[in-house]
């Protein structure tokens, strides 16, 4: 059976393009990866009402597995990025071609505490990412050829491109990063699309909230691309919480009683303590997004100072919170319910176990089980 590379060589034969074989490599497995997720930086100013200028303990008495929780749905998006081919244009320019698998999954909590996939909001895509110097007719010919070749294997590829810039690809640019960003954009599109459908179907409310593994800071270009009204999305996301397992500790903060950088404050926090809410958000989410940091594991059992600390994001519910800061009682309540999700832990199953909430770990595991294995996917390329 023909592979994607076979189809590309056939399509480009006679066009002056050269399609070169490349070691089929999963960029996620590279310890010196050509790409990295960028932590959205906080602005470092307190955005909580009443104003809090120190770390405080979150009270969790009375919360256990029998206590009803508003944290009902859990979402994770994931991607795998492969470099498998390079092309040389007839004018001598050289570009990488990437492939990717992206997906989003949502698990919902049942009345008995068990978790069930919400299949209407779980979706996968296979991608081929070309430079935009390859014209649309050639990309369409590749798409049709791949569709025909993969018909018996029930595998469809979507073809997209990365920008080579105003230089037309003559300048020194990192095209691996550009192609990877396009794959990440596709993943974020799936995430935001699933959130919008859940809101349209009235699945989310104050007592049935969605927790996302990652940031809520969807960029304006993503919202525009999906046709989502920018003025409405921030209001509709009030029942969504973002939780990140990693962050940048060297960010400056102001208004606290000690510590000039975030990491200096977090390394001293005890289990169950949180920071004040910091102002965050850009573009659509200016003055709307609040971020705080919560320790969900005893630091004495951790192997590094910031292990066991997570970043939590939520949006202002109304104009008062936008003007004065996120309500402190609301932040404490959300934090307490998050702390109640810390066990069971995926210890040993994931090197980020200390920063995992178990329902998110289950969602991530379910999502990744739907990907084709690296061996199978490389075989298609």
The pLDDT value given to residue 39: 55
Res. 30: pLDDT tops 50: no
Indicate if the pLDDT at residue 179 is higher than 70. Answer: yes
C-alpha span between 81 and 91 (Å, rounded): 28
Report the pLDDT value the prediction gives residue 346, as an integer from 0 to 100. 57
Q: Where are the alpha helices (DSSP H) in 38-170?
A: 136-149
Strand blocks (E) in the chain: 18-26, 48-49, 56-57, 71-88, 94-109, 115-117, 123-131, 157-162, 209-213, 240-244, 273-274, 278-280, 289-295, 309-315, 326-327
The closest of 10, 32, 53 to 144, measured between CA atoms, is 10
Q: Name every residue whose Cβ is closer than 8 Å to that of residue 199 and which is 6 or more positions away in sequence.
A: 236
Backbone angles phi, psi at 274, to 5 degrees: -135, 160
CA–CA dist 55, 274 (Å, integer): 6
pLDDT at position 369 over 80: yes
- Whole-angstrom CA distances from 97 to 1, 44, 159, 186 are 21, 39, 11, 16
Residue 202 has phi, psi (to 5 degrees) of 55, 40
Q: Residue 357: left (phi > 0), alpha (psi -120 to 50), or beta? A: beta
Instruction: Tell me how crowded residue 121 is: count the other CB atoms within 10 A of its CB.
Output: 23
Distance CA 321, CA 287 (A): 9
Q: Are 231 and 304 in contact (CB under 8 A)?
A: no
- With tokens 């490599």, the residue in question is 25
pTM over 0.75: yes
Query: What is the DSSP secondary-structure string of 100-113?
Result: EEEEEEEEEE-TTS
The model's pLDDT over 77-88, given as tens digits with 9 standing for 90+, comes to 999 999 999 988
Q: pLDDT at residue 193 above 80?
A: yes
Q: Is 216 helix (H, G, I), strand (E, B) or coil?
A: coil
Whether residue 35 is predicted with pLDDT greater than 50 in this model: the reply is no
Per-residue pLDDT reduced to its tens digit, 200-238: 899 999 999 999 998 887 777 777 777 777 666 767 788
Q: Specify the pairing of strand 94-109 against strand 71-88.
A: antiparallel
- Residue 82 has what DSSP assignment? E
């Amino acid at each position: 059976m023909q592979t994607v590379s076979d189809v590309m060589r056939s399509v480009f034969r006679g066009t002056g393009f050269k399609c070169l074989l490349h070691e089929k490599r999963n960029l996620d497995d590279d310890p010196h990866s050509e790409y990295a997720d960028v932590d959205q930086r906080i602005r470092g100013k307190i955005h909580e009402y009443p104003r809090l200028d120190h770390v405080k303990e979150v009270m969790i008495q009375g919360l256990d597995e029998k206590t009803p929780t508003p944290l009902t749905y859990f979402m994770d998006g994931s991607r795998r990025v492969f470099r498998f081919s390079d092309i040389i244009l007839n004018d001598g320019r050289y570009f990488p071609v990437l492939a990717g698998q992206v997906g989003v999954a949502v698990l919902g909590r049942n009345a008995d505490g068990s978790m069930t996939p919400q299949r209407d909001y779980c979706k996968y895509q296979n991608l081929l990412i070309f430079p935009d110097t390859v014209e649309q007719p050639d990309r369409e010919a590749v798409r049709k050829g791949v569709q025909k070749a993969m018909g018996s294997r029930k595998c469809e590829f979507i073809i997209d491109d990365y920008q080579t810039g105003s230089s037309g690809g003559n300048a020194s640019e990192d095209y691996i990063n550009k192609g990877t960003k396009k794959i990440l954009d596709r993943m974020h599109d799936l995430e935001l699309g699933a959130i919008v459908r859940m809101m349209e179907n009235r699945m989310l409310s104050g007592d049935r909230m969605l927790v996302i593994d990652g940031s809520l800071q969807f960029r304006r270009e993503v919202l525009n691309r999906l046709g989502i009204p920018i003025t409405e999305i921030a209001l509709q996301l009030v029942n969504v919480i973002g939780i990140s397992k990693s962050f940048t500790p060297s960010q400056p903060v102001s208004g606290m009683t000690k510590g000039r950088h975030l990491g200096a404050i977090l390394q001293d926090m005890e289990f169950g303590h949180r920071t004040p809410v910091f102002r965050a958000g850009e573009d659509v989410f200016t003055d709307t997004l609040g971020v705080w940091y919560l320790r969900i594991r005893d630091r004495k059992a951790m192997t590094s100072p910031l292990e066991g600390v997570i970043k939590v994001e939520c949006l202002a519910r109304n104009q008062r919170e936008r003007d004065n800061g996120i309500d402190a009682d609301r932040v404490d309540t959300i934090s307490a319910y998050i702390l109640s999700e810390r066990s069971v832990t995926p210890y040993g199953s994931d090197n980020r176990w200390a920063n995992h909430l178990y329902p998110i770990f289950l969602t991530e595991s379910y999502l990744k089980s739907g990907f084709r294995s690296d061996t199978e996917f490389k075989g298609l390329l």
